[in-house]
Structure 1
Amino acid sequence: MSKDQRVRTRDFLMGLAKAFAKYGAPSHRIEYLLELVALALEQPASFVVIPGVIWVSFGDEDHESSTHLIKVGQSWHMYKLSLVNRLCKNVIAGDLEVRGAVDRLNVIAAEPDWGVGWSWAAYPVVSFTICMIGFGGTWVDGAISAVLGLGVGATLLRAFPHLIPFLDAFLASFISRVIMTAFRKYQPTYCYNHVSIVLSAIVNLLPGLSITISLIEVATKNIVSGTVRIFSALFHASMLGFGITSGRAVVTWAPDNIDDTTLTHCPPAISPLWNFLFFPPLCFSFLILFEARRPQFLHISLVSTIGYTVYSVLSTLPQFSTSAGQVVPNAISAFTIGVAANIYSRLTKDVAVPAIIVGIVMLVPGSMGVRATLGFFGKNSTDAVQVVFEMLMIGMSIGIGLFMASLAVFPIKGPRYKVGFLQNSQARFHPKLTIFLNSI
């Protein structure tokens, strides 16, 4: 390999690593695919991925090495993630050279996103539907959550990275508390659920998905990445709790009996059949926020619907109605999501990660992200300790469900299948590539 080819190959690998991290691939998946691509390109390299940073170390025939530090922020783009995964398969199979792969990577990066208008419109829809489905709120509760969610979306779409969780939680809690005070004054018997409305408004900020991914990374021996991510998620949740508590405390003119639920009369909950109407717009909104595209809509929506249906049915059983019992519906639902996504991956040779991530998101707002965060607003210190334990347990249950799904239906053909050397010249020097290429 000439010096120019070596430089071009290394630049491509670093660009590929940055693309995977930017588009939302888990750390263990990034390291796995980068190692395979480096082997296919005959470029000795090792990779270490933690949230926000990627270390890449290259070696050569002269026993000289170079280490590069890549700083990259994580976002979610399911369509580009699928395209980058397909690009990796083409490079590993030898169907695409480095020069063409670099051009293709630039084309993928230039793919347009959903416009700001679409993304902004998705936030109130998510807040409204979560309030109605997750909390059984009234139409007024849902409308207030939607308005607050619209404001939260406006701040998230702007470049204000610092203290966004605290400020959004503070403002949502403050405005909701003011509205609650007005209801107590003019409609004293109206049933107003302050915490449910606020949590529905900031549901897109809740760290349920981050905690689940961090536990999966720890389970896959990515200790550093998983530990960093989980502590970041717990700090993020604490900041949200502090913001909600502060916003509620600022409303000093609220009456003393504002939290007395014995004075209110709550109307009967709406029919559960409404959930079948609320779920499609909720799913479509998450597809927009996670930057999925029309070719992905059908299978992601189908996987999400299957997982949420299983979760809804199991949650109605009395033995799973407690906080501790929620781990079972989450584990079984995650298993169902993983099996459905892996079957799709095996049949179409497309990556299963987008369907799994969006399907899990449909679970964590109602199970871990919302209900567990309620514990931060308890009256004693043991509530916070208990809620951290519950968040970890539910996250682990989702992770175990996904691992069991991979055992039941492996997304790519692994060691359980006969591994033989392919005739492709790119695979002749390392058996790992033959395992991966069997799935292409």
Structure 2
Amino acid sequence: HNARHAGSHSSLAAKAKFAILPAGAHNPRNGAGVLGALIASTGNIAGAAAPVPSSLAPNIKRPGYHLSRYSIDVKDVVLPPTAPSTKERHKSLPSTPRFRSSSTTSSITDRDTLASKRGWTEKLRDLEATTFGFANGNGRSGRSTPTFGAGAGGFLRSGRSTPTVRTPSTEGDHDDEKEGEERWRWEREREREQEGRREKRKKRKKAEVYITRHVAQIIQRQEFILKLTRALMMFGAPAHRLPTQIHATGRVLDIQVNCMYLPDVVLISFDDGATGTSSLKFIRQGSSLSLGKLGEVYEVYWSVIHDEESVSEASRTLDALMRKEEVYPGWQQIIIGGMCSASICSISFNGSFLDSVIVFPLGALLVAIQLLSVRNELYSNVFEITVATLFSFVSATLAATKRFCYSAIASSSVVLILPGFIVLCGALEIMSRNIVSGSVRMCYAVVYSLFLGFGLAIGAEAYERTTGHTIEGSTDYTCSGSHDKEGPWYQRTPKLYWAFLTVPLFSLFLSMRNQAPWRSREMILLIVIACIGWVTNHFAGIKFPSQSDISAAVGAFAVGVVANVYARFFSGNAFVIMITGILFQVPSGLGNGGLLTYASKQAAGASTAYLSGFQTALQLISVAIGLTVGLGLSLVLVHPIQSRRRAGGVFSL
């Protein structure tokens, strides 16, 4: 009887726990005996009921117990790397091994045979996972989404972790733990992906808002650059520094800008590196020197590039500044023009006190006509010629009385429309390698001076044709014939001591003519620097007679050194405080033997009159070259080392 059941010994031992044998059937015994089954049952009950390791469970490692089905090393059990929460740990799974309901007795025999072939080490983790009935057909699951059975899978599907009770476990429990851990990791990864998508949506929304605001900020910065360019052109900023000024502003505002300057025209291109596009702006603006407003524009520019003022506020400031009225009303400008002509008459053109008095109404009339000519565009084209013709005729009429000097009155009456500033800007642009704009300005200055000489010649010719008399002292450029040395003091040629009065006086009114506020701190500096320039020019002219370029260079060098030293150590504006001293050098170069030489020869009908006209133009150019050289040397002397401040477009000549 025992031999008949010997082949199915292991199968019956496995079915002893789960099957109820019929009455009278013989229950075979396994190798462990009755005590081994009781010990195993006690361990199963304790593992299922106790939340923590039970003290009733026997020590399977104790000598004398050899239960191969339950012999498992604790060190061989792979615990989850990430421990779940405390609440989840107390919810353990039953440790009883789960078999498939469809398993047969032959499966146990096959398993034993397979184990014997593979060299079983008496540990369940060496067996196939399919023996214990997992629903996943792939055995141990990988990184993909696991598929669980109805037992432990339903429990793990709720997100709970595997039990941590140290009770005897089977291979099925171990795989359930692994699949539950993978399920938990998969859900964590899915939550992270969802959270990442939400963060991306938020970032995308923020990016859209930022792009909208950023585009608005770019437009504001571009508008500020355009307004700054227009303001600089409107108020007479040095043209040779304008492209550098625009590039420096664009670099500070993080705008890619390119600029091309022509006289009264600026082409500005804004480049967009992200889209590869550009926007071209065209600005046409006439210039008129206004020292007060130019200084305010410089302060706005300085505050923006040093982040002391926002771009929007600076744009509003520039708008208000361009709409602002002039510092001096029209009637005050007329008086200022008369005082300029009266004060320059004696120191530059050898006029007497009487000549200075009589030229006052002519200078005032010049400014009045200039203010009215702005309203009529057609007349503004011939303004210089008509004014020069009128003043030449009046000067010839006054010289007929033999009490006035023709050359002094005619020259000082048109001193405010001499092309000194145009010549200076053209020479500086040529020196700065701005060949196009510099050449245009120089050619215009030469033709402009010929216009003035032609107007003076027409006036003198009109007087001679009308009266039938020649002009008294038309070639007497020192007024020695018209001035009586034995006459009253107001008819004599003034002494050099009069320069202590007339030089500061002309500097004051010329600065006011250029719209410099008379209450400002710069007004004193304008007067002092202009006086320094005149003194050096005068004594250099005595040392180098008939060389106006050398005397102009020495005077400009002195003016440039003082102005740049002040601007460097006191954070001032060099251009604003030096322009009066520079313009003071031009009338001296054009007065003696300049325009009047061309006018007298033209009136006399000489065949070489056109040559004298070109000689006048060459004399004008020589004065401009001297001024340019003097200013360049002064700038190098004060700033010998190149710095970003010089290259950043700071106002200086």
| 8 Å CA contact 1:23, 1:81 repeated in 2 | yes
> How many Å apart are 1:136 and its aligned residue?
1.4
Matched, 1:385 2:607: no
Deviations along 1:172-192, whole A, 9 cap, x unmatched? 1122223334x2xxxxxx254
Within the candidate set 270, 281, 291, 1:58 is matched to 270
Partner of 1:101: 314
Instruction: Report matched runs for 1:94-173 at 5 Å.
Output: 94-112=307-325, 113-158=327-372, 159=374, 160=376, 161-173=380-392
Task: Indicate which of 583, 599, 602 corresponds to 1:361.
Answer: 583
State how far apart, in whole Å, the 1-side matches of 2:619 and 2:525 are. 31
Q: Which residue of 2 aligns with 1:285?
A: 509
SS of structure 2 residue aligned to 1:364: helix
1:382 offset after TM fit, Å? 2.5
1:275 and 1:85, CA in 2 relative to 1: closer, same or farther beyond 3 A?
same
Q: How does 1:198-217 map to 2 (within 5 A)?
A: 198-217=410-429
Offset at residue 352 of structure 1 (A):
0.5
State the alpha-carbon separation in 2 of the partners of residues 369 and 29 from structure 1.
30
Structure-to-structure mapping, 1:171-210, within 5 angstroms: 171-181=390-400, 183=401, 190=402, 192-210=404-422
Q: Which residue of 2 aligns with 1:239?
A: 451
Moved more, 260-269 or 139-148: 260-269
2:558 is matched with 336
Letter of the 1:240 counterpart? L
SS of residue paired to 1:400: helix
The question of 1:42 aligning with 2:254 is answered: yes
- Kindly provide the CA deviation profile for residues 298-323 of structure 1, in whole angstroms up to 9, marking residues without a partner as x: 11111111111111222233xx121x
- Distance, in Å, in 1 between the alignment partners of 2:445 and 2:317 is 34
Contact residue 258 and residue 268 of structure 2 kept, 8 A = yes
Report the secondary structure of 1:157's partner residue.
helix
For 1:97 and 1:90, how far apart are their aligned partners in 2?
8
Q: Does 1:273 align with 2:497?
A: yes
**Residue 628 (structure 2) aligns with:** 399
1:308 correspondence with 2:534: yes
CA distance in 2, matches of 1:360, 1:433: 23
Query: Which has the greater radius of gyration?
Result: 2
- Residues 33-65 of structure 1: per-residue CA shift (max 9 Å, x gap): 111111111111111222211111111121111
Q: Check 1:310–1:433 CA distance in 2 against 1; reply closer, same or farther (3 A cut).
A: closer
Query: Is the deviation greater in 345-354 or in 251-260?
Result: 251-260
Shift in Å at residue 254 of structure 1?
Answer: 2.6
Q: Deviations over 1:262-286 (max 9, x none)?
A: 9955323221111211122211111
CA separation of 1:92 and 1:259: change in aligned 2, threshold 3 A? same
CA shift, 1:144, in A, is 2.3
Q: Is the 1:216–1:226 contact (alpha carbons within 8 Å) kept by the matching residues of 2? A: yes
Distance 1:97 1:433, change over 3 A: farther
Residue type at the aligned position of 1:170: T
Distance 1:166 1:257 in 2: 22
1:110 is displaced (CA, Å) by 4.5
Tell me the TM-score normalised to structure 1 length: 0.87
Over the aligned positions, Cα root-mean-square deviation in angstroms equals: 2.4
Provide, for residues 110-158 of structure 1, a one-character-per-residue CA deviation record: whole Å limited to 9, x for no partner.
Answer: 4442222221111111111221111111223222221211111111122
Give the Cα–Cα distance (whole angstroms) in 2 for the partners of residues 433 and 401 of structure 1: 21
Q: State whether residues 396 and 472 of structure 2, in contact with CA within 8 Å, keep that contact through their aligned partners in structure 1.
A: no
Q: Distance in 1 between matches of 2:411 and 2:393?
A: 13
Cα distance change, pair 371–118 in 1 and its aligned pair in 2 (3 A): farther
Q: In structure 2, the residue corresponding to 1:59 is in which secondary structure?
A: strand
Higher RCO (CA-CA < 8 Å; seq separation 6+): 1
Check whether the contact 2:333–2:513 (CA below 8 A) recurs between aligned residues.
yes
Q: Output the CA distance in 2 between the equivalents of 1:172 and 1:69.
A: 40
Higher deviation after alignment, 213-222 or 378-387:
378-387
Q: CA deviation at 1:29?
A: 1.4
Distance change in 2, residues 1:313/1:15 (3 Å): same
Rounded Cα–Cα distance in structure 2 between residues aligned with 1:437 and 1:397:
23
- Assess, with a 3 A threshold, how the Cα gap between structure 1 residues 65 and 257 changes in structure 2: closer, same or farther: closer
2:645 and 2:264 map into 1 onto residues whose CA distance is: 28
Measured after TM superposition, the shift of residue 435 of structure 1 is 6.3
Distance in 2, matches of 1:34 and 1:369, equals 38
| Deviation at residue 13 of structure 1 after TM alignment | 0.8
Q: Does 1-10 or 348-357 show the bigger shift? A: 1-10
Q: Structure 1 or 2: larger helix share?
A: 1
Name the SS for the 1:253 alignment partner.
helix
SS of the equivalent of 1:171 reads: helix
One-letter code aligned to 1:345: A
The letter of the residue matching 1:288 is M
Partner of residue 8, structure 2: none
Tell me, yes or no, if the aligned pair for 1:93 and 1:437 is still in contact at 8 Å: no
Aligned residues: 411
CA distance in 1, matches of 2:459, 2:364: 18
Kept in 1, the 8 Å contact 2:396–2:471? The answer is no
Which residue, 559, 567, 587 being the options, matches 1:345?
Answer: 567
The alignment's TM-score, normalised by the length of structure 2, stands at: 0.60
Q: Percent identity?
A: 23
SS of residue paired to 2:216: helix
Name structure 1 gaps, 5 residues minimum. Answer: 184-189, 418-431
SS of the equivalent of 1:42 reads coil
Quote the Cα distance in structure 2 between the aligned partners of 1:291 and 1:235: 27
How far off is 1:433 after superposition?
7.4
Distance in 1 separating the partners of 2:526 and 2:514: 11
The structure-2 alpha-carbon separation of the partners of 1:8 and 1:100, relative to structure 1 and needing over 3 Å to count, comes to same
1:277 maps to a residue whose letter is L
Q: 1:249 to 1:435 in 2, by over 3 A?
A: closer
Given the alignment, which residue of 361, 368, 374 partners 2:596? 374
Report the equivalent of 2:434: 222
Q: Which amino acid aligns with 2:387?
A: D
Deviation, 1:371, is 4.8
TM-superposed deviation, 1:386:
2.1
Relative to structure 1, the CA distance from residue 433 to residue 331 in structure 2 (aligned partners, 3 Å threshold; closer, same or farther) is: closer
